[in-house]
Structure formats: structure tokens, C-alpha cells
């Protein structure tokens, strides 16, 4: 069952944050929960108070309140009747959003903010929130307005992938669409690969992995009988396979780490590549501290 708390979205008037605002408003409406727009700002620097004075500080605060109020109006236009409100925080954007994420059903950020370098595919705020938030995060990128196509999820047998699969089915049920479950396996016949073992049969291996994939999702299929499921087993690295399949998806769900990841990393290489290159929004699925996931 989906959380009943609010959806939080970071906003700073940049084009990516406006796209994230629209996506979050639609998602909050779909979930039937309130939307909170968070604007973080800072203007203090050594000597700022002496140079600017109290009037300037109040002007900055008022501008921030005006910006977030305008964002709330935009959100209500996207989803009429939406329970939307805003809050301003004086401080760093990542810290403000991480604090807000602690009680949110979902935290939504754009792939870059106003302070980001144009050459960067993912800004530092988005990466920090996706990596450290205590709860699920969506980074809105690619075809943010995609309303068709399946919810894509990679499954490799790891606990994190099982959590992601559960979230993918939940999202697909809410969106009345299918789940596209993908499993990647290395191409042992590629010129750069280690020589495959004697008797290696790529087709038989793909069949085995497809059967395994079907079995791993059997419990979720029983729980969500209304959700169609498509299985794909493709040769290649998991990140590349999921990036390619994101071209046909409306949302891709990924866990924090997968098999082969280093235990010390909070966000695995697959998730990081999708945050940089996915053609649709990316949902980082994680359970909150001290909670047990519902999987299988």
C-alpha cells in the first residue's frame, strides 16, 4: 500500500525544477496525497548583514515566499483540486530536501538546478538527495511527460532489486500500465570477453535466466494480478540494458545497489548511470530506516 504522507518537490525556478514540479503535482494527484513545494535559498556571506541591512534580508525572504507561492499555483493548475502548499528554507538545497524527505512518501527533484554547470547531466543536489534521502526519490529527467509505456525494473536476485520490483508493481498498478522486468547477462562471446567455458550455450542460459526471473516475480504477480508483465533477458551490462529499455518506459525503478556492488557504496553504479542517462524519470527505491520491506 502506498504511503499516505505528502510528496515533496524541490523548486528553484530553473527549467528542470519546473519540470519536476509538474511531474510531482501529477504524482501527488495520482496518489491522493498533498504536495509540498520546498524552496531553499541563501544570501549570507561574510559582511552581508552589514552591507545589506535588515531591509535587504526581508526583501530576500519575501521574494522566496513569492516564488514558492507561484509554484504552488502552477502545481494546482497541473492537478486541479490538489492539496498543495509551499515552504521556504534559508540554507542549502540538499540539506533542506534531505530533511523534508524524512517524512515524505516521495521526494522529487529535477536533474539539475540553477547553480548547476550545463555540461553536467545530473546536478549535485539531485545526486545528494538520491544518495542520502531516507525514503524513495524520483529524479525527473528525459521524457518527463511520458504517460505511456511500462514501468521498467531490473531484477537480479539481490535484496535491493526485490525492493525495486515491489515498488515497480505498486507504481504500475497505480498507473494502470504494465511492468517490464529486465535481466541482464554478460555476452561471453564478445571479442573483449573472457573466453566462454566449453559447452556454453547462450540461448540456454537466456532461457534459464528467464525462468528464474519469472519465479522471482511470482509472488508479486499474485499480489497484483491486474498488472501485465513483460520479461526481457538481454545480453550486456545491467546499466546499459536498463538505459536502452528506458526509451520505451514511463518510469524506471532501481534499487540502491545490485549484485556485484561494493557494500560501502550508498548508490550503485547501475543507479548512478540511470540517473545520468535514463530517457525517463528514475525512482530510487529504498525502505526507510528501521522498516522492513514487503517483497516477493
Domains of the chain by start residue, with CATH:
7-140 (3.40.50.620), 151-284 (3.40.50.12370)
Mean pLDDT of 278-293: 76
Tell which wins on pLDDT, 288 or 127.
Answer: 127
Q: What pLDDT, on a 0 to 100 scale, did the predictor assign at position 117?
A: 38
pTM above 0.85, yes or no: no
Q: What pLDDT, on a 0 to 100 scale, did the predictor assign at position 264?
A: 37
Helix (H, G, I), strand (E, B) or coil at 241: helix
Cα–Cα separations (whole angstroms), residue 86 to 22, 59, 69, 73, 133: 14, 18, 7, 10, 20
Q: What pLDDT, on a 0 to 100 scale, did the predictor assign at position 123?
A: 62
- In this prediction, residue 256 has a pLDDT band, given cuts at 50, 70 and 90, of confident
Nine cell digits for residue 57: 534580508
Place of cell 521574494: 63
Average pLDDT for the chain: 83
Cβ atoms < 10 Å from Cβ of 86:
21
Helix (H, G, I), strand (E, B) or coil at 14: coil
Integer Rg of the chain from CA: 21
Does 174 score more than 70 pLDDT? yes
Q: What is the pLDDT of residues 4-44, one digit of tens each?
A: 589 999 999 899 999 999 999 999 999 999 999 999 887 65
Q: What is the pLDDT of residues 104-119, one digit of tens each?
A: 999 999 986 554 433 3
Q: What is the pLDDT of residues 202-211, one digit of tens each?
A: 678 788 889 9
Whether the Cβ atoms of residue 258 and residue 154 lie closer than 8 Å to each other: yes
Q: What is the pLDDT of residues 234-244, one digit of tens each?
A: 988 899 999 99
Strands 229-235 and 179-185: parallel
Amino acid at each position: 500500500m502506498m504511503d499516505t504522507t505528502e510528496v515533496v518537490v524541490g523548486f528553484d525556478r530553473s527549467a528542470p525544477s519546473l519540470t519536476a514540479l509538474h511531474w510531482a503535482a501529477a504524482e501527488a494527484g495520482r496518489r491522493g496525497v498533498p504536495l509540498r513545494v520546498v524552496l531553499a535559498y541563501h544570501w549570507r556571506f561574510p559582511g552581508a548583514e552589514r552591507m545589506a541591512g535588515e531591509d535587504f534580508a526581508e526583501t530576500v525572504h519575501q521574494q522566496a515566499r513569492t516564488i514558492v507561492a507561484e509554484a504552488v499555483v502552477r502545481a494546482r493548475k497541473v492537478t486541479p483540486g490538489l492539496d498543495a502548499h509551499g515552504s521556504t528554507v534559508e540554507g542549502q538545497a540538499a540539506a533542506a530536501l534531505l530533511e523534508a524527505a524524512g517524512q515524505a512518501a516521495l521526494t522529487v527533484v529535477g536533474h539539475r538546478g540553477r547553480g548547476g554547470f550545463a555540461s553536467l547531466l545530473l546536478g549535485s543536489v539531485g545526486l545528494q538527495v538520491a544518495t542520502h534521502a531516507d525514503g524513495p526519490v524520483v529524479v525527473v529527467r528525459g521524457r518527463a511527460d511520458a504517460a505511456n509505456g511500462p514501468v521498467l525494473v531490473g531484477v537480479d536476485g539481490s535484496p535491493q532489486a526485490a525492493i525495486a520490483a515491489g515498488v515497480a508493481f505498486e507504481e504500475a498498478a497505480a498507473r494502470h500500465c504494465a511492468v517490464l522486468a529486465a535481466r541482464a547477462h554478460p555476452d561471453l562471446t564478445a571479442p573483449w570477453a573472457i573466453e566462454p567455458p566449453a559447452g556454453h550455450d547462450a540461448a540456454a542460459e537466456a532461457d534459464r535466466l528467464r525462468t528464474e526471473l519469472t519465479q522471482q516475480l511470482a509472488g508479486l504477480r499474485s499480489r497484483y494480478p491486474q498488472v501485465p508483465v513483460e520479461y526481457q533477458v538481454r545480453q550486456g551490462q545491467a546499466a546499459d540494458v536498463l538505459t536502452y529499455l528506458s526509451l520505451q518506459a514511463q518510469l524506471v525503478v532501481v534499487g540502491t545497489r545490485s549484485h556485484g556492488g561494493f557494500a560501502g557504496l550508498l548508490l550503485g553504479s547501475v543507479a548512478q548511470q540511470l540517473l545520468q542517462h535514463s530517457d525517463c524519470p528514475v525512482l530510487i527505491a529504498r525502505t526507510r530506516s528501521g522498516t522492513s520491506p514487503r517483497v516477493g
